[in-house]
């Protein structure tokens, strides 16, 4: 049995572990929501700490808090920012939809820790979680602001660098493979020739456009609802509180945060988060295509396509010796599937923007941040363990290209579609080459040398 102390909130008393920094409202939330064991992720705790730290600074600057109290709150909030008290945040993400339980968790931890710091300085001041730490704030503007801060920071710190490195390596492969001509494929069937450089240019462009879409969506996160308090009207906060606090958060993070243009939109909806989640999903769709294409192009090594050679990162089978599987591609594809599921959850949560407040924000925060983390880690692993060491088998590409009947397409301007179709069908049935059949039908050798050269099929005729 753990030793406890008695704490009280507006509903009565609660027993709280003696060593806990949190108080009655957090204990009540722990009791109410024994759902998943999943707590707020670290970026959200950091964001809440940033808000509380600079809220105290603003309230002191505006004459609302005395210096000792403000300094103690800022010191305690800094410890939260640094992750020193993460174990003091046990509230489940499946909680009150406004995030009130987690906001009060942070208020109580910071208030109690700040009181301890003041006692160490021989001060008898008691710091209250609502009256002091939450001064000028409401869960309804703090929690959505924390979501924006956390997601924006993680995008810039982890996902954008991972995507940019992936893009650079795809461009490197585009250059490395530019002279390797291979058969194209549409509908999983042979199509006209293409270079591997052209293939990888398409992958690189997908990622480039994904970065642009995500950067555009991330701009919406820079608007913070802070200052709207309960319903967006700003009741019980100083008119300068939000701009003062947000300016300090922006300076600390290096991101251009600003006060929401319309507090009623910012608190009644979470459209900015929906937009980011959608862009993350879009990015995952692109990544899935790249990983899956590489997986198929490397199939074999002898009885599949085999045009790409994957780095061997681990044994592929517990029963088949020597087997090497496309494990890094499979890992990234599973990440992409999870991100797509997360987006569906975020969308469903965003539908619960009822009147002046969304009431499914903790799960939105968790899923969006998980998508950012999974994509960042999945991309980095795929990039370093698969893409960097990826090679093309030029001989295999050449052999498959020579066997393809799709080269007959280049004869269409000379002999017409129907004649070309008959040649392709006959070549397939008889095993004869297209060249032999075309020579038999009267096309001269020089013309065939020009038309059937794959290098002349890679771009429009000039």
- For the segment 125-129, the average pLDDT, to the nearest whole number, is 92
- Average pLDDT of the chain, as a whole number: 96
Triad 75, 78, 80: Cα angle to 5° = 120
For β-strands 353-354 and 4-9, DSSP reports them as unpaired
Look at residue 462 in the predicted model and tell me its pLDDT: 43
- For the segment 256-272, the average pLDDT, to the nearest whole number, is 98
Residue 1 neighbours by CB distance under 10 Å = 3
For β-strands 223-224 and 258-259, DSSP reports them as parallel
- For the segment 212-229, the average pLDDT, to the nearest whole number, is 98
Q: Which residues are catalytic?
A: 187, 317
For the segment 221-241, what is each residue's pLDDT rounded down to a tens digit?
999 999 999 999 999 999 999
What is the Rg, in whole angstroms, of the alpha carbon atoms belonging to the chain? 30
- For the segment 157-165, the average pLDDT, to the nearest whole number, is 98
What token pair was written down for 191? 């199509």
Look at residue 340 in the predicted model and tell me its pLDDT: 98
Tell me the percentage of the chain whose pLDDT exceeds 70.
Answer: 99
Name the band, by pLDDT with cuts 50, 70 and 90, for residue 317: confident
- For the segment 194-207, the average pLDDT, to the nearest whole number, is 98
Beta bridge partners of 343: none
Name the band, by pLDDT with cuts 50, 70 and 90, for residue 1: low
Look at residue 316 in the predicted model and tell me its pLDDT: 86
- For the segment 56-64, the average pLDDT, to the nearest whole number, is 98
Compute the distance between CA of residue 408 and CA of residue 451 in angstroms, rounded to an integer: 9
φ/ψ of residue 12, rounded to 5: 135, -155
Name the band, by pLDDT with cuts 50, 70 and 90, for residue 121: confident
The full set of domains in the chain, from first to last, is: 24-135 (1.10.275.10), 143-225+254-395 (1.20.200.10), 404-457 (1.10.40.30)
Name the band, by pLDDT with cuts 50, 70 and 90, for residue 120: confident
For the segment 334-355, what is each residue's pLDDT rounded down to a tens digit?
999 999 999 999 999 999 999 9
φ/ψ of residue 178, rounded to 5: -65, -25
């Amino acid at each position: 049995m753990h030793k406890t102390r008695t704490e009280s909130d507006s509903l009565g008393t609660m027993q709280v572990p003696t060593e806990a920094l949190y108080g009655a409202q957090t204990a009540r939330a722990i009791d109410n929501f024994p759902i998943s064991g999943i707590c707020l992720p670290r970026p959200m705790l950091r964001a809440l700490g940033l808000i509380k730290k600079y809220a105290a600074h603003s309230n002191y600057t505006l004459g609302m808090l005395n210096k000792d109290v403000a300094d103690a709150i800022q010191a305690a909030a800094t410890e939260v920012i640094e992750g020193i008290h993460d174990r003091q945040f046990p509230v489940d993400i499946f909680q009150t939809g406004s995030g009130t339980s987690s906001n009060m968790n942070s208020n109580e931890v910071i208030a109690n820790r700040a009181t301890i710091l003041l006692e160490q300085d021989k001060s008898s001041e008691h710091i209250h979680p609502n009256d002091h730490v939450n001064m000028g704030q409401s869960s309804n503007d703090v929690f959505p602001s924390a979501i924006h801060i956390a997601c924006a920071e993680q995008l810039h710190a982890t996902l954008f660098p991972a995507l940019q490195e992936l893009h650079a390596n795809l461009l490197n492969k585009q250059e490395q493979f530019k002279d390797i001509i291979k058969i194209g494929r549409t509908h999983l069937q042979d199509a006209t020739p293409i270079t591997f450089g052209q293939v990888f240019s398409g992958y690189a462009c997908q990622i480039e456009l994904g970065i642009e879409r995500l950067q555009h969506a991330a701009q919406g996160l820079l608007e913070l609802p802070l200052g709207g308090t309960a319903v967006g009207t700003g009741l019980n906060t100083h008119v300068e509180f939000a701009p003062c606090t947000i300016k300090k958060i922006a300076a600390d993070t290096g991101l251009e945060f600003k006060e929401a243009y319309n507090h009623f939109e910012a608190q009644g909806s979470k459209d900015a988060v929906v937009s980011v989640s959608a862009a993350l999903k879009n990015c995952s769709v692109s990544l899935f295509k790249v990983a899956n294409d590489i997986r198929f192009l490397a199939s074999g090594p002898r009885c599949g396509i085999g045009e790409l050679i994957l780095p061997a990162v681990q044994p592929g089978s517990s029963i088949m010796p020597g087997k090497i599987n496309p494990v890094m591609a499979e890992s990234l594809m599973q990440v992409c599937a999870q991100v797509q599921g997360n987006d569906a959850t975020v969308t469903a949560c965003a539908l619960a923007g009822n009147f002046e407040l969304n009431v499914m924000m903790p799960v939105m925060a968790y899923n969006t941040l998980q998508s950012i983390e999974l994509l960042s880690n999945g991309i980095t692993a795929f990039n370093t363990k698969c893409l960097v060491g990826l090679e093309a088998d030029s001989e295999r590409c050449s052999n498959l290209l020579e066997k393809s009947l799709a080269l007959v397409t280049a004869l269409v301007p000379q002999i017409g579609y129907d004649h070309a179709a008959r040649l392709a069908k006959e070549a397939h049935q008889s095993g004869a080459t297209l060249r032999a059949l075309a020579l038999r039908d009267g096309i001269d050798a020089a013309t065939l040398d020009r038309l059937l050269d794959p290098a002349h099929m890679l771009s429009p005729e000039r």
